[in-house]
Chains A and B, each alone.
Chain A
């Protein structure tokens, strides 16, 4: 099983600032099948990034993904009020599929 560790657990930032979220895998994620989801309270997760770097349909370019192998990063270039949420990384390369513990991005 691939264990995903996200850091930090929470991030306190101001609107306009840049957010950098990390996701580390316990072993190589095949074909870089690593995704990022955004989740707001009471809502289902929304896909932002797949295959480590590809934005999902309709996702603005302030969201970007990078990394390969075991180390991945989600960057939000300039935080807007609607970006304050929980972000989950997820590997879909091998069963069991697994998620990281999440990073809460909070308004400072």
Chain B
């Protein structure tokens, strides 16, 4: 069992950058695929990115590839999402997710990112 807690959300201007962090509590963190799923206000869920247990593989949603980078530090039991060149359409609650495979059976409570001038 892994508990996930996100941080780093906030208000940022279009074109700006933000780094989200997710701290995992529990011994299984290093065995989990970890990722991010977002939800724009009043909208559905959208998968953003995934990273393999050892960081050797990364997968991204096409619309954020080249702007967002996912990384992890298993010693710190943390996963990160570096978001650059942010756009208004990136405004959303970002959930940290994880699981033993690609199924996201562990979710954090989310952190809100607002991109606005």
A: residues with CB less than 8 A from B are 33, 35, 37, 39, 43-47, 50, 56, 88, 90, 92-93, 95-102
**CB contact between B103 and one of A45, A92, A99 (< 8 Å): that residue:** A92
Bound-state Cα–Cα, A93 to B47, Å: 13
Q: Is the interface of A mostly helix, strand, loop or mixed?
A: loop
A97 contacts B105, C-beta separation under 8 Å: no
Q: Is the interface of B mostly helix, strand, loop or mixed?
A: loop
Chain B interfacial residues counted at CB < 8 A: 18
Q: Give 10 A-B pairs besides A44-B95, A88-B44 with Cβ atoms closer than 8 angstroms.
A: A35-B103, A44-B108, A46-B107, A90-B104, A92-B102, A93-B102, A96-B61, A97-B47, A99-B46, A102-B45
B24 at the interface (CB under 8 A from A): no
Can you name the residue of chain B whose Cβ is closest to the Cβ of A6? B44
Contacts between chains A and B (CB distance < 8 A), count: 48
**Known pairs A33-B102, A92-B102; A100 contacts B44 (CB<8 A):** yes
B59 contacts A50, C-beta separation under 8 Å: no
Give the residues in chain B near A44, CB-CB below 8 Å.
95, 107-110
B: residues with CB less than 8 A from A are 44-47, 50, 59, 61-62, 95, 101-105, 107-110
Give the residues in chain A near B44, CB-CB below 8 Å.
88, 99-102
A56 contacts B108, C-beta separation under 8 Å: no
**Known pairs A96-B59, A97-B50; A47 contacts B105 (CB<8 A):** yes
B47 contacts A50, C-beta separation under 8 Å: no
